[in-house]
Amino acid sequence: MTVENILEIKNLKTYFSLDKDRVVKAVDGVSYVVPKGKTLGIVGESGSGKSITALSVLRLVDEPGEIVDGEILFKGEDLVKKKVSEMRKIRGNQISMIFQEPMTSLNPVHSVGKQIKETLHIHEDLIRQEANHKALDLLKLVGIPSPEKRLTQYPFELSGGMRQRVMIAIALACNPELLIADEPTTALDVTIQAQILELIKELQAELHMSVMLITHDLGVVAETCDFVAVMYAGKVVEYADVDTLFESPKHPYTVGLLNSLPRHDIKMEELTPIKGMVPSPFEMPEGCRFAPRCPFATALCQEKLPDLEKKENGQEVRCWIYTDEWDGEEVKVYEPNATT
């Protein structure tokens, strides 16, 4: 059975040309799909290109950033080729995005109600009374208590969690088919984080939305996502459904992330964080970008970049270990913890 994909990113390259000979290849040949009606988690360390990929989908990358190659197929149509006016219609109508810090995205001088109604007016022709009803419905949908009162309040009068709920209400105002959430909970404290993620999960199921959830937290992925793309230094190194990724992760980087995930069954001091640092955009390794930090790396890894190759269960991995060309010893990249 083939799953229909709402979004297919193919070999996307988004570069920032800082000056004549300095180019930051923020997104450098990224390919992944968002299956329709599912949640895809994007994980990876800071600077791996998660946000720039998302902003590329919406064509919101600021200069000197530019999409230099690749395709972004949304329901089969290439967004890279769309005119600015066409993209404006797609944004907030079919694809919505929520960001990390709701205070910077909300307008401080307008009431919550006004801001929701503004989005409604832009995207749908609604008469005023209908707009009021719809704004109220949206606040109820995202679980805001005393919604009537909230409509008249200003962003500074709300807590961080409530502001993020308002942002979600705004993002949902026009029934998007794809919701992109970029670290939607990192600015919030832990209990509120869990509530917001639960809300996104519930809304996804209720509204049959497809969701792209960017996070650096694999714990969040385990709770919320159906599929996962692991990014490292501007590339996808692994892609799989969430069960496959947690049961048989293949890329040493993914395994490193899993090993540094706090778990109830192991003590903090037993966690093994990945050693070393993400390479500088100006000194990208020639071969596999993870090779300088990889405990298994051989000369081949240092010299040649592996492709992202399909394995069983739709899993994809970019690593020489899983190819016929592997020239090292036989290695066990992942050993499930005996106590789990």
Ligand X SMILES: Nc1ncnc2c1ncn2[C@@H]1O[C@H](COP(=O)(O)OP(=O)(O)OP(=O)(O)O)[C@@H](O)[C@H]1O
- Judged by the rule CB under 5 A, the positions of this chain that interact with Mg ion are 51
Using CB under 6 A as the binding rule, whether residue 253 contacts ligand X is answered as: no
57 vs 139, which CB is nearer to ligand X?
A: 57
CA distance between the termini of the chain: 32
The 8-class DSSP code of residue 175 comes to -
Report the residue number, 56 or 204, with the smaller CB distance to ligand X.
Answer: 56
Closer of 53 and 119 to Mg ion (Cβ): 53
Number of helices (H) and strands (E) in the chain: give both, helices first: 12, 12
Least CB distance to Mg ion at residue 217 (A): 13
Residue 185 binding ligand X, by CB under 6 A: no
147 interacts with ligand X by CB under 6 A: no
Host H or E run for residue 202:
helix 190-207
Stretch that binds ligand X, among 42-50, 169-177, 220-228, 327-335 (CB under 6 A): 42-50
CA-based torsion, 213, 214, 220, 222: positive or negative: positive
| Phi/psi at 224 (5° precision) | -115, -25
Q: Is 49 in the site for ligand X (CB under 6 A)?
A: yes
Is 239 among the residues that bind ligand X (CB under 6 A)?
no
What distance in Å separates the CA atoms of residue 66 and residue 27, rounded to the nearest whole number?
10
* Secondary structure of residue 194 in the 3-state scheme: helix
CB closer to ligand X out of 50 and 165: 50
CB of 116 to ligand X, least distance (A): 27
Residue 242 CB neighbours (<10 A): 20
Which residues lie closer than 8 Å to 107 by C-beta, 6 or more apart?
115, 155
Considering the complex, what minimum distance in angstroms separates the CB of residue 332 from ligand X? 29
Q: Kindly tell me which residue out of 155, 281, 287, 306 binds ligand X, with binding defined by CB under 6 A.
A: 281
Tell me how far apart the alpha carbons of residues 92 and 136 are, in angstroms, rounded to a whole number.
19
- Candidates 40-48, 157-165, 173-181, 260-268; binding stretch for ligand X (CB under 6 A): 40-48
Burial of 69 (0-12, 13-18, 19+ CB in 10 A): middle
For position 39 contacting ligand X by CB under 6 A, the verdict is no
Nearer to Mg ion by C-beta: 51 or 224? 51
82 binds, among ligand X, Mg ion, none (CB under 5 to 8 A by kind): none
3-class DSSP state for residue 6? strand
Parallel, antiparallel, or unpaired: how do β-strands 5-19 and 22-35 relate?
antiparallel
- State the binding string over 54-83 for ligand X (x if CB under 6 A, else -): -----------x------------------
Shortest reach from residue 108's CB to ligand X, in Å: 24
Residue 142: left (phi > 0), alpha (psi -120 to 50), or beta?
alpha
Return the DSSP state at 107: -
- Residue 320 as a binder of ligand X (CB under 6 A): the answer is no
Residue from the set 50, 91, 250, 251 that interacts with ligand X by CB under 6 A: 50
Binds 150, which of Mg ion, ligand X, none (CB < 5 to 8 A, cut-off by type)? none
- Judged by CB under 6 A, the residue of 6, 12, 26, 90 near ligand X is 26
Q: How far is the CB of 7 from ligand X (least distance, A)?
A: 17
| Binding to ligand X, residues 208-237 (CB under 6 A) | 216
Report which of 34, 36, 46, 17 is spatially closest to residue 72, judged by C-alpha positions: 34
Interaction site with ligand X (CB under 6 A): 16, 24, 26, 44, 46-52, 65, 216, 281
